[in-house]
Each structure stands twice: as C-alpha cells, then as structure tokens.
Amino acid sequence: MRSPPSPLCATHSVIIKRGSDTFEIPDRLPVLPLRDVVAFPYVVMPLLIGRQASLNAAQVAWESHRFVLLIAQRDASTLEPKSRDVYRVGVVAHLQSVTQLPNGSTRILLEGLGAVSVSRVASHKGALVATLVEPREIVAPDAADEATARQMLQRFEEYASLTRRIPVEVVQFATGSDDLYRTSFLLAAHLNVRTPVRQRLLESPTLKDLLTGLNKVLAGELEMLALEKSIDDEVRGSIHRNQREFYLQEQLRVINRELGNDDGDDLSEVATAVETADLPEDVRTRADKELRKLRRMSPMSPEATVIRNYLDWILTLPWVTEKTLEVAPGTMDVAHTRDVLNADHHGLRDVKERILDHVAVLANVGKMDGPMLCLVGPPGVGKTSLGRSIARALGRKFVRMSLGGVHDEAEIRGHRRTYIGSMPGRILQGMRRAGSVNPVMLLDEIDKLGRDHRGDPGSALLEVLDPEQNKTFNDHYLELDYDLSQVFFITTANTLGGIPDALRDRLEIVRLPGYLETEKLAIAREFLLPRQCERAGIAMDSVKLDPDVLPKIIRYYTREAGVRDLERQLARLTRKIARRRAEAAEGAEPSDTILSTDLTAMLGVAPFDPDEDVRQDQVGVSTGLAYTSVGGEVLDIEVSVVPGRGRLQLTGALGDVMKESAGAALTYARSRADQLGLQRDFHKTRDIHIHIPDGATPKDGPSAGIAIATALISALTNVPVRASVAMTGEITLRGRVLPIGGLKEKAVAALRTARTDVIVPERNARELDELPIEVKNGIRFHPVSSMDQVLELALNRTGARSTSKRRDGRAARSADATPPTGKVLPVPTPPPSTH
Ligand code: ADP
C-alpha cells in the first residue's frame, strides 16, 4: 500500500451494540463507498476494491483501528464520489483481512457491526471521511413483530425455492435464528433487489419498520416471480407444442411421400390459382390476405381447412364471366325471345307478353330494373319451364332453387365463417352452379318461405331482388360484396296469400290460372307427347293414337290445373308403347293404333270419373268452388241433419275462416226459418254435421259460404240441390252475397268437372268478360247478390216433391234437372265401360 493520509482526528467515540456484543468506535471513520451493494450488520462480505479513494480508506483503517464505514453510492456509475453522492446511513464494518491479488486489485473481507447515521461526509486527501452520529436504536421485538416475522420467513422460504439462488444454509439459519435483527439483515442482504430498496431497508428506523418493509418487498418479489413463471411456462408450452406439431407433420409428410400422396405442392397450386384467377381488385386483396394466413399455418390444422374452403369459394364463384352459353349474335332482342317462348310453350299469351316487356328493358338498359317477375299459379302450369325458355332465349345459364321451407335467414345469406362447416347461402350457391354473373335464376315457392327466431329469410330476399341493393349483396360467409345486379331473377308461387307483404310490393305478379281441357290437349299433342316419345326412344310419327285417347287420359287419369300428371301419364304410355314394340320384335303381334279401350291395360284403372258426381241431384250436398295451392277446385259440401241437441260439427280439414262461414250460414238459416218453412227451434232439436270430403287437403277462405248455406238448407228442408250447379260467394249473416277471388281458376275447375251453371257474386260479374271463350261458351254464369237468389237457382223443388216421400233423406235423380234458363254444355259421354 502507499503512504497513508494524515490521521483522522476522532473527538470521541460511539458505542455500537450488536446482540450481546458492544463495540466502541471512533466518531470519524474512513468511508468505503459501495457500488450496487448495501452492507448490513452481521453480514460478512468480501469486496474487491480498486478505486484510489477506497484503497486509501482501507489502508487507513487497516493501519489503525480497522473500522471503516460502508456507505452505498446513490449512483453506481460515479467513479469519484463526493459527499453528496453517498447515502447518509451506512454500516460500520470491521476489516478482517486485506489481500493483494496478482491482477493488481485488492480483496478485503469485512464484517458488518451496526448501522449508523452520518452527520457529515468530507473529502480528505483523496478519501472520504464521515462523522458518525448516534447508532440506530435497538428495541426488543413485540408480539406483532413476531407475527410479521413469521410471515416474512414463510415468504422468504418460498422466494428462495423459486429463485434457487439463495444458499440452503442461509434459509436454514434464517428460520432457525431467534435474533430477529440478525435474521432480517441476513434476508435483506440476500434479496435480489435494487440498491434504493435495500438502502430503505437499512434505514428502517425501528425493527417493526424493517420487518414490514421486508415483508412488502418479499410479497412484491413473489408476485413478480409468479408472473415470470407463468410467462415462462406458456412460452415453454408453446415451444413444446410447436415442436410436437412440427415433428408429427414432418412424419406425416414422409409417410405421404412414401405412399405417393405427396400434396406438398397443393399450396402452391392454390397460390397459382389465386394468381391467375380473374378477380376484382378487392376480392384479389382479400384472397391474397387469406393465402398469406394459410402459408403461416400448419396445413393440417382445422383453420387451414376453413381458409382453403373459403379460397375455393372465391375461386369458383363467377366474378366477371358473362355468358357461358354459345349464342348467336343479336339474340338479346325481343323478337327472338318471343320465338323461343312460343316454340316451348302453348298459349300463355299474357304471361309471354309480360316476360317480353322485361326482356325489352333488359335489352335497353343492360340489366334488370324495376320489380321482378313473380309467376303465380298451381303446379305444372309451366312456371319453371318458362324460366328455362327465357334463359335459352337470352343465351344465359339457368339455375332454379326452391325456397319452400326455408326458415333461416342464413340459408339465403350464409353462415359466418366461425361456424364449423359454414358456407355461403343459397343465392351464392346458385351463382356458383351457374358459373356466370348473369344467369336466369328462378326462386321457386316464395310463398312457402318460413320465418322464425332465426331471422326472416324474406327480408334477405328483398335485398336480393331489389335492383338498388343487389349490386352489393352481402353474404355472411363471403364477407365481400357480391354483384347480383346482372342476374335475371324470376320468382314463383302457388298462391298469392303466402308471399310476405313486403316482398309482394316489390314483385310484378303474373298469374297462370291453369289450363282448360282444350289447352291441355294442345299441350299434350304439341309438346308433352313428342318429348316423351323421344325419351322412350320411339318416333313420334309412328305413334298412332285414336282421337279420344288424349281426352280420356286428361279427364279420367288426371285431375289437375297444370299438366304435370298428364305428362307423367304420357310418359307411362310411351314406355308401354316402347315395350310393346320390343315384344313385337320378339314375335308377338304388334297392334299399331292405341285405342281408348287400351288405356286400362296400359295405364291401369282410371282413378277419376268427372261425370259421376253430377249425375244426381242430392239432398244436403252442394258444389262449392275453391282456389287452393293446386289451382281451382270443386268442393263437395255435405250436410247431414239428425235429431239431437243442437250440436254443430265440422269435419274435413277446414280452416278457421271456413268454419266461420259455416256459423254464418247457420245463423242465416235460423233468421229465415219461417220463409224457408223450417221449425223455429231446429237449431236446438237437431245436430248438424257439415263435412267437406278430401280431408287431406286443407281448405280455407270465405268463398264456400253460399255453398255451405245451400247444402244446409237443402238438408233441413229435404229439397235436393241441382248437381249441375256449382257456386262461389261469401255469405253475410243477413244473406247477402259478397265477392270472391280466383274466379277464372274456379270457372276452369267447374268446366273441368262438367258443371253447366255457376252462381257467382254480382260484384264479380265484371270479370266474366275476361274469361276464356271456351269457359264462356261452356258455362252459364248467374250473378247474384242475395242468398234467396242462390236458393232459387240451386234447389230443385220439383225434385223435392218426387223425393219427399223417401225416408232416407236422399233424393233420386230429379226428373227436372235442367236449371231455369240458358243453354247447357253437353255432359261428356262416359267412355265405353271397359273398367
Ligand atoms: P311449374 O313450374 O309451374 O310447376 P313446370 O314448368 O314444371 O310447372 O311444367 C310441368 C311440365 O309441363 C313441363 O314439362 C312443362 O314443359 C310443361 N308445360 C306446362 N305448361 C306448358 C305449356 N303452356 N306449353 C308447353 N308445355 C307446358
């Protein structure tokens, strides 16, 4: 060591107590400034010193009383600390050894004796000298201190076990010692905390403060350690998982390669597909984004499958492709469309005209504008095939989708991608099927749309059909705007009633009322039969049908407004013909012409007989006309009256409105009891049963009112109803007759079943002019305004006289079945009785 500085002049000494030891210390001591370390009493610590001030201090102490003052520097980076750079509380230490190391530095060993406050620190010849004040007071611990200490020790043990940096002996010593001061300082010395924190612990004025301070520091440290551990675990866990996945995938890849199913290039195939696809800008951006996501994923993960599906949809949906059918140039004109519609369909003049209006707009504007077409009519009247013809005429693809039973908005608009197995809604599925951006899309059965808690598919459909909105149709799955504005939408429905109101406002309704027999004949000859012959592989001109074969099939084998069953029967017929020919080729005798008598053998026993019902006038049986989802229909209304207590029974799948009509008819009968010659209290002494057969078909609506009243009064008065008369009209309680809808369809049904007279409400009379000529020629219409007029026309009072003697309440066929006025369409002669 070098020459010592001038001696430090201590004026008096300070007494320091440490447990049972007492030390007398001079009140001026050389200072050893500490960097990043705080010394504590009791703690023995080695230090490496190298700064001149430190070396000087150590030398002075070593050569005199061997006491130094250890004080922490406020800032560890200060190389030559001045008075203000060190704290004001330090620890007096005893210098136990000084060793020169070969590298030039000096190693000293110190033992902390006690903490002291310092009143002054001064520089003296290159070293710092401190003037000591009173040492810290040592107070015996109380019970609360003991409790805090226990908690502190528990925490310390936990801390030691988590950090694993504290020697076991320290923990053992700390937990085994009775001296709380000693234990606390030992703990403080071993905590891995920053200097200011340690310094604060050292400066604690009392034992209680020291213990509480330590406890707080330990609690904070434990929290930090727990957090570190959980982060660590997570990181470790994810590394493990990733490694595991990576390992498994590598194995899978090797296995696949061995098996020859190497799909390593799959991703690059998708990438190439995205790159080369003809996509609008925003779609491409989205596709690229998804592709990037896909690249980052393991190819086998479920998320990757979801993204692949999504990309697949983007790639297969038509975004820009226009037409996909080969069409001659200039086919977008009205004349061409008219030719095609006529070539495919008989009649339907009105409907074709309306379609041509739309096509004209399309040709001018280049896209659909205004309300969309809605074809309303019973099954089999050609709604779908009209759609197909339009597509053919315009050279566009045709897609049809049924919306019957769709309850969920998501079926139209798709499910969000978060759902497992989700996909776009039906509209976009249809677009994918079409493969072009401008197909003709037929939305079938919009009157059967449901609606429940899963949303309203009708409102989604509104958006689809609205030219203002459908340019940016938003499907939940796709999450990209899709342009539907070039699609030619056509909707269809069986009845108007089921179409949601909001939707009906946006549609141009075109009605197809059903076909007359002559129309069916023409359709069968010109379209259905040739088509079925072709399907059966026989030449049309080789098939010879007797002239009454087709009428017989229509009347006796079908009962429908459209021609679907008719087509089915003709398909059967042509198959039979094909078989006959095949058998003839094998030697059997061929018969060339098909006669109407052959039909039973070929098509089975005829299920219908239109003449049967009208052969007899009957008591309590009237003929109503209804308009149902399968078109105009004839309803037989039966009423039976038996002695009883006034019960009214209604059967035959009747809707509420029809039941109310029955109630109104009964009230009317009671109010007219005197005029009708009924007993005043008949409603109390008789049970009345009203039945409308064919119970499987639900029937509703008020238009059967007058027919129910007629059957009821007939049953009560025992006067038969004319079988040739059919009727339709709503009844009021006072017997007024109110107008009804669907007159044309009903009239067609009446003619189909060979009724000659139809009673209609006066207020419907205006519509009679518009009826097809065939109907006007075949049926006599009787407009009426009151129930009295109805009874006058419908009841056969002559028949009543002839049958009144009968006890069974049933009338035989009346001798005078001809209605009061007008000409009568001849009832078709029943076919020869071959069955
Ligand atoms: P809808 O869609 O109204 O139920 P479809 O279009 O399926 O009826 O018609 C049933 C069959 O009847 C089809 O084969 C169709 O070509 C044929 N058809 C219907 N009306 C006509 C018509 N006016 N002319 C020619 N064929 C018709």
Report pLDDT for 674. Answer: 86
Report pLDDT for 818. Answer: 42
Protein residue closest via CA to atom 21 of ligand 1: 382
Q: In the chain, what percentage of residues exceed pLDDT 70?
A: 87
pLDDT tens string 274-324: 888 888 888 999 999 988 888 777 777 778 888 888 888 988 888 886 655
Instruction: Return the ligand 1 atom nearest residue 528 CA.
Output: 26
Categorize the per-residue pLDDT at 817 as very low, low, confident or very high, splitting at 50, 70 and 90: very low
Instruction: Return the ligand 1 atom nearest residue 386 CA.
Output: 6
Q: Is the pLDDT of residue 403 over 60?
A: yes
pLDDT tens string 461-509: 888 888 888 888 988 898 888 988 888 899 999 888 778 888 888 888 8
pTM of the model: 0.59
Instruction: Return the ligand 1 atom nearest residue 375 CA.
Output: 3
Protein residue closest via CA to atom 17 of ligand 1: 382
Structure tokens at 768: 């009679």
Among 381, 531, 560, name the best residue to mutate to test ligand 1's pocket (greatest count of ligand atoms within 8 A of Cβ): 381
Protein residue closest via CA to atom 15 of ligand 1: 382
Q: Which of 184, 436, 629, 703 is catalytic?
A: 703
Q: Is the pLDDT of residue 6 over 50?
A: no
Q: Is the pLDDT of residue 140 over 80?
A: no
Report pLDDT for 825. Answer: 33
Interior CA angle at 47 toward 41 and 49, to 5°? 130
pLDDT tens string 202-241: 998 888 889 999 999 999 999 988 888 888 887 777 777 7
Average pLDDT of the segment spanning 370-387:
88
Report pLDDT for 810. Answer: 37
CB of 728 within 8 A of CB of 710? no
- Give me ligand 1 centre to Cα 384, in Å: 7
Report pLDDT for 816. Answer: 38
Collapsing DSSP states into helix, strand and coil, what is residue 109?
A: strand
Average pLDDT of the segment spanning 584-598:
68
pLDDT tens string 715-734: 988 889 998 899 999 988 88
pLDDT tens string 743-769: 888 888 888 877 889 999 999 999 888
Among 385, 392, 446, name the best residue to mutate to test ligand 1's pocket (greatest count of ligand atoms within 8 A of Cβ): 385
pLDDT tens string 409-450: 888 888 888 766 788 899 999 999 988 888 899 999 888 887
Distance set, CA 82 to CA 117, 121, 252, 363, 447 (Å): 17, 8, 70, 97, 96
- Give me ligand 1 centre to Cα 401, in Å: 17
Protein residue closest via CA to atom 10 of ligand 1: 380
Cα–Cα distance for residue pair 465/373, rounded to 1 Å:
10
- Give me ligand 1 centre to Cα 395, in Å: 20
Instruction: Return the ligand 1 atom nearest residue 564 CA.
Output: 10
Protein residue closest via CA to atom 6 of ligand 1: 382
Instruction: Return the ligand 1 atom nearest residue 444 CA.
Output: 2
Average pLDDT of the segment spanning 360-367:
78
- Rounded to the nearest angstrom, the gap between the alpha carbon of residue 389 and the centroid of all alpha carbons in its chain is 33
Structure tokens at 523: 């359709």
Protein residue closest via CA to atom 25 of ligand 1: 345
Dihedral sign from CA coordinates of 204, 208, 209, 210:
positive
Protein residue closest via CA to atom 16 of ligand 1: 385
The whole-chain average pLDDT of the chain stands at 82
Cα–Cα distance for residue pair 88/93, rounded to 1 Å:
16
Report pLDDT for 809. Answer: 36
Report pLDDT for 265. Answer: 58
Q: Which residue has the higher pLDDT, 504 or 246?
A: 504
Q: Phi/psi of residue 14, each to 5°?
A: -120, 140
Protein residue closest via CA to atom 22 of ligand 1: 345
Most confident of 691-695, 762-766, 815-819: 762-766
- Give me ligand 1 centre to Cα 177, in Å: 104
In 3D, which of 610, 618, 624 has the Cα closest to residue 758?
A: 624
Cα–Cα distance for residue pair 283/83, rounded to 1 Å:
72
pLDDT tens string 315-363: 888 888 665 554 544 556 788 888 899 999 988 888 899 888 888 888 7
Among 351, 495, 527, 534, name the best residue to mutate to test ligand 1's pocket (greatest count of ligand atoms within 8 A of Cβ): 527
Average pLDDT of the segment spanning 101-128:
86
- Give me ligand 1 centre to Cα 709, in Å: 38
Categorize the per-residue pLDDT at 365 as very low, low, confident or very high, splitting at 50, 70 and 90: confident
In 3D, which of 31, 41, 326 has the Cα closest to residue 183?
A: 41
In 3D, which of 791, 671, 639 has the Cα closest to residue 727?
A: 791
- Give me ligand 1 centre to Cα 402, in Å: 16
Among 389, 402, 563, 630, name the best residue to mutate to test ligand 1's pocket (greatest count of ligand atoms within 8 A of Cβ): 563
Report pLDDT for 429. Answer: 92
Question: Which string of b and e fits 273-286 if b means at least 16 CB within 10 Å?
Answer: bbeebebeeebbeb
- Give me ligand 1 centre to Cα 346, in Å: 10
Instruction: Please name the residues in contact with 821: beta carbons below 8 A apart, sequence gap of 6 or more.
Output: 780
Q: Is the pLDDT of residue 254 over 50?
A: yes
In 3D, which of 580, 591, 577, 593 has the Cα closest to residue 545?
A: 593
Cα–Cα distance for residue pair 280/578, rounded to 1 Å:
54
Helix axes 180-190, 143-163, angle to 10 degrees: 30
pLDDT tens string 646-664: 888 888 777 778 888 888 8
Categorize the per-residue pLDDT at 835 as very low, low, confident or very high, splitting at 50, 70 and 90: very low
Count of positions (residues) in the chain: 835
Q: Is the pLDDT of residue 456 over 80?
A: no
Q: Is the pLDDT of residue 4 over 60?
A: no
Report pLDDT for 31. Answer: 92
**Residue 746 annotated as catalytic:** yes
- Give me ligand 1 centre to Cα 336, in Å: 20
Give ligand 1 pocket residues (Cβ under 6 A).
345-348, 379-385, 523, 527, 562-564, 567
